[in-house]
Amino acid sequence: MTGNLQSGCLANWSMETMLDPAKDDLPLMANTCHMLVKHYELDLDVDFKSQVIEGTIVLFFEPGSKSKKGASALEGTCLSQSDETCKIRASEPCHIPVTNVSARSSKTGYNDFAVCAKGEKDTSDKNGNHSNGEQASGISSSKNCCDIENHGSEDFLLVLDCCDLSVLKVEEVDVAAVPGIEKFTRSAKLTDASEELRNLRNQIVHELVTLPADRWREQLYYYTRCSQAPGCGELLFSTGTWSLEIRKAEIKAPREFPHAIRIWYKTKPQGRSVTWTTDQSSRPCVYTVGSPINNRALFPCQEPPVAMSTWQTTVRTPSCFVVLTSGENTAEPAQLQEGLLSWYYYVTMPMPASTFTIAIGSWTEVKKQSCTADIWTNKEFSFLLSKADLRLIGGSCGHVEYPCRFQNPAASSQLVIPHRVFAPLCLRDRCAEIILELIPQCLSAAHATLGTHPFSRLDVLIVPSNFSSLGMASPHIIFLSQSVLTGGSHLCGTRLCHEIAHAWFGLAIGARDWTEEWISEGFATYLEDVFWAVAQQLPHDEAREQQELKALLRWRRLRDEVQNSEEELQVLRPNKENTGELSESGTCTIKHGLNAEKIFMQVHYLKGYFLLRFLARRIGDTTYLEFLRKFVQKFHGQLILSQDFLCMLLEDIPEQKGFVLSVENIIETWLDTSGIPKPLLEESRTWDHCRLVQQVNHEVTKWIQVNQRARKRSKRKRRQDEVAFQKLLPDQLVLLLECLLEEKTTLCLRTLQCLEKTYHLGEQDAEVRHRWCELIIKHKYTTRYAEVETFLREDQAMGVYLYGELMVNEDAKQQELAYKCFAATQTQMDVSSAKVVAEMLL
């Protein structure tokens, strides 16, 4: 998410005090420069009746960069790109199933939870937050937070990102009690001496989290065993609006703090990280919604991107539900008892906690009738295999050690990774018709363009209608809106390509600073066009024409957004020269991170896309794509800043260096300035010459003439005037309707009816139908208000601003329709969407 990062030493207590929850700034509270999570072990029960997820999370830590450098380092600043704490970004390792799943003993974990939870005194406040009775009044003092090493004066305070959670208990985990754990100790025998035992536990965790990549099975096994170990003492904790603060008496420094802790907690029904709703078949479900607050209302975590970790997840649900989550393995549920299943997933690649995704519902797997699609795709794209792969195989990776697919020849030659599709039962046939055929084509096209797939498998889920976006990509799983299922394959194909592109840009390569969203969304938008052209096997000239048309549509959207938004929200690198810097402890504030309207803005998508397009035109498409493959090979598994990409680009193509293509000029023109960049203004004048655009302009002229004649002539005369209209592509239809919307002349009823019939507008994709709904509203086509109502109910990912159109005309029937639709969908609507719509209706 974008916004201004506030640098400097910010005490957690003062940040919590200064931030007004009603305002739109988002705090990242975790003190990652002192302690860094390396692994999460989640063990959860889901209760749909109470709409609560309850259980434990065990966090395994390593001291952060400040602690490693010693107390003297506190006088400096936290390096933004130095050791493993600041350069981890993982691409997914090679998938090998766990061979000893029984060691997890999910049933044991369930019983352990019941024993530990039973009899706990409820110390919750009126908001459901908890703390333990021994909490000292000084726990939130600035001295505790800023003077972390503080030369023995106060206890060290661990701060995690957390909100909308009821924390019940926090305890240290006795990892030394795990049978066989002696292999992770340097000493021959265990001792009961307090300090030595504390050091021994931390040493065990250190040895466990630093195991080499080829011992990943063993590492997962012992993570599980350690997470099931008994507690060895409760820790003091306090919950705030945005944080969970934990300390242990007499522990003064991070390196002495317990490196394995267990947190007992439960979510709240109104928690903002997950949505409890019903699917399109009216069955209950719950899923994570991503931004703006990511997962801190699902589990206590460290949100800053630098906090890269692996995880294991065990989820218990009634047997009628399917659990999908970010995991390398294709989970097979284990039956614990009649009516109760346990689902287990894991990842061995370090990723930020914000990328974790889960969806639980009565999903139906959409099966293909045959495997002809995969066979056809691999055959058609096989000629591109050597071209893509030979450039990527070989050389060493620049990320921290993990089982990396980029170093696996078998993975590198895999054009289409294993994939599954899930949907509500009522959408199964539609998904089988559209999505199953598209996924292998889009995956093959992505491989032909960038090479090795960073992830070993993929699940695609059609989420409920209240999902606020057309799609969302997470490790191993993509959410798609039902809006992509109508009107043929175009919208679904382009959206799939966009989300698949995030596997490389956004996941395998991530932004080191959250404010640089364009690194994820700009690249995905640019590559969406490239992948889709390859997937359709378009000739070069045809692909170029379609991309020119798409550029014009995006230009129009960007131009409108720049004209109607605050200037500070139009800057792609709002922190400018301070981008990537961290505070003394690692805390920061994301300016406007909770701004509901900003969530719907497309500036970082569009402006980022146009920057990449500008560079491709200057350098040449072929050379540019070859460079992107090199860039992926070098930076996969890492976090980057804008200048990392630009510097490597200009170093790789030195003949292009100059004033226009200097790093400084590009950053100033495209990233650090609001408004429309001058090079984009110049290019925008050329798109009217595109053949596909000219076709639309001719059709617009015809429709204006038809409308003029319809307003003047009799019914009998009109029937004698037959006009031949050309068949248009979906993007051409979007442009046609946008041009007609801009006409000041009213379109008469006959024209609207003819327009609808000519292009079958009610059957087109959601992008086209959205413009058609705008025309219906503008020209008060009352007999089609039902189509607007259907769109607002079923296409919530795109319908938000139609409410504004209904209100702006001050027409009683239209306003009544807006109120009616909002009343029907408000309780299920995404929180940000509901807030924006409510403001429109006031």
Nearest in space to 258 (alpha carbons), one of 249, 248, 268: 248
Pairing assessment for the beta strands 458-462 and 477-480 based on DSSP bridges: parallel
Whether pLDDT at 111 is above 60: no
Q: What is the pLDDT of residue 452?
A: 97
Which is higher by pLDDT, 194 or 233?
233
Out of 84, 171, 328, 499, which one is annotated catalytic? Answer: 499
* The two structure tokens encoding residue 444: 């093959």
Whether pLDDT at 162 is above 90: yes
Query: Could you give the percent of the chain with pLDDT greater than 90?
Result: 70
SS3 for 385-437, per residue?
Answer: HHHHHCCCCCCCCCCCCCCCHHHCHHHHCCCCCCEEEEECHHHHHHHHHHHHH
Between CA 484 and CA 284 the distance in angstroms is 22
Between CA 444 and CA 414 the distance in angstroms is 9
Q: What is the pLDDT of residue 98?
A: 32
Amino acid making up residue 497: C
Lookup result for tokens 């020269």: 577
Q: Could you tell me the end-to-end alpha-carbon distance of the chain, in angstroms, rounded to an integer?
A: 28
Q: What is the pLDDT of residue 658?
A: 66
Mean pLDDT for 356-381 is: 69
3-class secondary-structure state, position 64? coil
Contact call for residues 416 and 456 (beta carbons, < 8 A): no
**Which structural domains are found in the chain, ordered by start?**
12-62+133-361 (2.60.40.1730), 364-423+425-511+518-571+594-674 (1.10.390.10), 691-841 (1.25.40.320)
Which is higher by pLDDT, 290 or 234?
234
Between CA 19 and CA 588 the distance in angstroms is 12
Q: How many CB atoms lie within 10 A of CB 153?
A: 10
Between CA 238 and CA 132 the distance in angstroms is 8
Q: How many CB atoms lie within 10 A of CB 778?
A: 16
Contact call for residues 180 and 278 (beta carbons, < 8 A): no
Between CA 746 and CA 704 the distance in angstroms is 10
Contact call for residues 803 and 774 (beta carbons, < 8 A): no
Mean pLDDT for 73-81 is: 35
Reply yes or no on whether 839 is catalytic.
no
Whether pLDDT at 317 is above 90: yes
Between CA 331 and CA 737 the distance in angstroms is 46
Confidence of residue 99 (pLDDT cuts 50, 70, 90): very low
CA–chain centroid gap for 174, Å, is 35
Query: Could you give the percent of the chain with pLDDT greater than 70?
Result: 81
3-class secondary-structure state, position 128? coil
Between CA 732 and CA 737 the distance in angstroms is 9
Length of the chain: 842
Mean pLDDT for 557-573 is: 93
Whether pLDDT at 137 is above 90: no
Q: How many CB atoms lie within 10 A of CB 259?
A: 26
Nearest in space to 267 (alpha carbons), one of 46, 109, 117, 60: 46
Torsion of CA 553, 556, 557, 561, to 10 degrees: 170
Between CA 327 and CA 350 the distance in angstroms is 12
